Structure 1
Amino acid sequence: MTLKQIEYFQMVIAKGNISAAADELYISRSVISRALAELEEEFLTNLFIRSKNGVVLTESGETIACLFKEVSSCYKATKRRICQISSGEKPSAFHLGITPTNAYHVYSLYFNDFRQCFPEINLYVNEYGASDAWKLLMDGTVDAFLTPARILDHNIFGSIDLYQTQIMMGVPFGCRIAEKKSLGISDILTLPLGYLNAPMPVEGILNSCFQTFDETPNVVLRTSDQKLLHVLNSSGIIYTILPSDILETWTDVQRIPLDFFPKSMHRLVWNKALAHDSVFHSFLSFMRDRSISFLPS
């Protein structure tokens, strides 16, 4: 397997045709055909189904395409890192991705202390959807990502468990369900719900649970304005479904666990295949030490 073979393979996928890929790369069709044959010999499988209309990936081909996508991303990110080393550029920045719902604990438990311990490091934090984490880590856009998403079954990613949260419902004090210790789907079928307008995997679970009752969630408000959600929740106009680390800051709203959601583990994840600098290792060491203090025994 060579970088040229990967390049040819990916171009054939993009064009759906060997001749078109050859024209795009300014090489002969036979060169690409030979490269594909060598890959098929190496992996002992057919990578494409060929027809007069072009080529389509086999199931094995799709698996290898995922591998090559990761290899290409890591290769490009590593080249950028080598250029930084060669230029003598001293690392001073760390780029961290977070999801829209994990900022509360992250800042209070980790970031303030990190800035005090390492004032020379510029910490840049950007918000992304949890599903974007893996691509951003593969191409080196972020050095690490904080997410409650399940870790992909892949040895390329390292992770540290940080803290747990519970999906809860914000309930106005004094309403009929405020005294309950937990809530099931039957308790919330008809309630007017407010959602945080962010990519939240819990929404898919909610939809599936409601479908067992032949119902759909009564979502009357979807907004990125958490203050608006808070005001309407405390006044009884809506009921919000949010992680506990957000709702615990709303002291005028009762927080009740939803019994069909397990606790979520928030993790720091990173790409082990990339070359990391001294700033990364300082951040990782700090997070490892701090995580021990906050994980439940």
Structure 2
Amino acid sequence: MDLKQLQYFVSVIEHMNFSKAAEKLHISQPSLSNAIKKLEHEIGSPLLERNTRNLHLTEAGQLLYERAIVVLKNIEILKLEIDEVVVHGTSEITIGVMDSIKYWLPKVIAEYKNRYPKMVFHLVDILGSELVINSLKSYKTHLVITNQLIDEADLEVKCLYEERLVAVLPLNHPLVEKDKLTIADISKEPFIISKEGFQTRQNILNAFEKDGMDINIQFEIERLETAVSLVRENLGISILPEKYLQGPTAKTIVLKEIDSAYLRRNVYLVYMKNRHLPLAIHQLFDEIELFLSEKTS
């Protein structure tokens, strides 16, 4: 048997109709029927039970279908990997990112570009565990940096660091005078929070729930930069990842630690276990881990 026969067979099963499968494959129905009969002859067993209305898989057909899907998927992946090595070489890296790593990732890339000056970076926003998984398995990204803990057998997940979620206040807010805040201190304040679907939102709501406190949500946002801008204008307070608030941003607002064991999160680097990744991309992994270890040591 060859790959074309497997493709024909899988198409017949997916459509459970020879004429529709033939149309999809752009071949005649008699040619498709002959190809399946030839495959059955080579295997020495019927693959399909045919009647005037329906097709049904035999036991041998079910086994072949399950294995054929895996073979064809692996061939598709191999073509993508060969294309990456032969056509593109190691000239491009696509990284799935989240808003809160904007402070440290550019610093890593700047250092990395000294070694690989011609490398082109594609940085794409990837939010939510399902999107992380899909982007990696469809080869749309080489790696993703996320605060979602992904549990998938095909994916390698490395914890890069743990960070605090801290209160963000306007410069003239009364709570600025306190050394450390509690959930009770901020429960009645107008609150700025990420919209549904963001992991950080769930962390914050969980912390309030554990303390038995309500939260006074006045603004829902998608980007952390928007939250900081609203805080600056005295429109409310927020809780944001500490690393995001480093650099110039920290001078325009006030950060306060909150006394809560639940306001912490992990940030992970995720990539496909069995995907061929060029040496240059593995070098980027090392650069990220080195940079973060130096900043936390």
- Say whether the fold is shared (TM-score over 0.5): yes
Give 1:235-250 correspondences, 5 Å limit: 235-248=233-246, 249-250=249-250
Quick one: which amino acid aligns to residue 292 of structure 1? S
2:105 maps to 106
Aligned CA distance change for structure 1 residues 188 and 123 (closer, same or farther; 3 Å): same
Whole-angstrom distance in 1 between the partners of 2:76 and 2:173: 56
User: Deviations 1:169-214 (Å, cap 9, x if unpaired)?
Assistant: 2123453433141422x33332211124585212123334555688
Whole-angstrom distance in 2 between the partners of 1:137 and 1:107: 22
Q: CA deviation at 1:273?
A: 1.3
1:181 maps to 180
Kindly indicate whether residue 294 of structure 2 is the aligned counterpart of residue 293 of structure 1.
Answer: yes
Quick one: which amino acid aligns to residue 200 of structure 2? V
Q: CA deviation at 1:282?
A: 3.1
Residues paired across the two proteins, number: 258
SS of the equivalent of 2:99 reads coil
Give 1:193-272 correspondences, 5 Å limit: 193-196=191-194, 199-210=197-208, 217-224=215-222, 226=224, 228-248=226-246, 249-258=249-258, 259-272=260-273
1:60 maps to none
2:135 maps to 136
Give 1:142-181 correspondences, 5 Å limit: 142-152=141-151, 154=153, 156-178=154-176, 179-181=178-180
Q: Which runs of 5 or more structure 1 residues have no equivalent in the other structure?
A: 43-67
Whole-angstrom distance in 1 between the partners of 2:235 and 2:98: 27
Whole-angstrom distance in 1 between the partners of 2:146 and 2:216: 27
Q: Which runs of 5 or more structure 2 residues have no equivalent in the other structure?
A: 23-32, 37-47, 50-54
**Contact 1:159/1:269 (8 A) holds in 2:** yes
Quick one: which amino acid aligns to residue 255 of structure 1? L
Which deviates more, 195-204 or 145-154? Answer: 195-204
User: Deviations 1:84-132 (Å, cap 9, x if unpaired)?
Assistant: 44x5653311111111222222223x11111122102222212221422
Whole-angstrom distance in 1 between the partners of 2:290 and 2:72: 33
**Contact 1:96/1:143 (8 A) holds in 2:** yes
**Contact 1:96/1:145 (8 A) holds in 2:** yes
1:33 maps to 57
Whole-angstrom distance in 2 between the partners of 1:269 and 1:204: 21
Q: CA deviation at 1:290?
A: 3.4
**Contact 2:97/2:124 (8 A) holds in 1:** yes
Aligned alpha-carbon RMSD (Å): 3.9
Aligned CA distance change for structure 1 residues 41 and 111 (closer, same or farther; 3 Å): closer
Whole-angstrom distance in 2 between the partners of 1:282 and 1:106: 14
Whole-angstrom distance in 1 between the partners of 2:149 and 2:123: 21
Aligned CA distance change for structure 1 residues 36 and 257 (closer, same or farther; 3 Å): farther
Whole-angstrom distance in 1 between the partners of 2:226 and 2:263: 27
SS of the equivalent of 2:151 reads coil
Whole-angstrom distance in 1 between the partners of 2:65 and 2:79: 28
1:278 maps to 279
Whole-angstrom distance in 1 between the partners of 2:138 and 2:73: 5
Quick one: which amino acid aligns to residue 183 of structure 1? T
SS of the equivalent of 2:276 reads coil
Q: CA deviation at 1:164?
A: 3.0
Question: TM-score normalised to the size of structure 2?
Answer: 0.69
Aligned CA distance change for structure 1 residues 264 and 229 (closer, same or farther; 3 Å): closer
Quick one: which amino acid aligns to residue 126 of structure 2? Y
State which structure, 1 or 2, has the greater radius of gyration over its C-alpha atoms: 2
Aligned CA distance change for structure 1 residues 216 and 73 (closer, same or farther; 3 Å): farther
**Contact 2:206/2:262 (8 A) holds in 1:** no
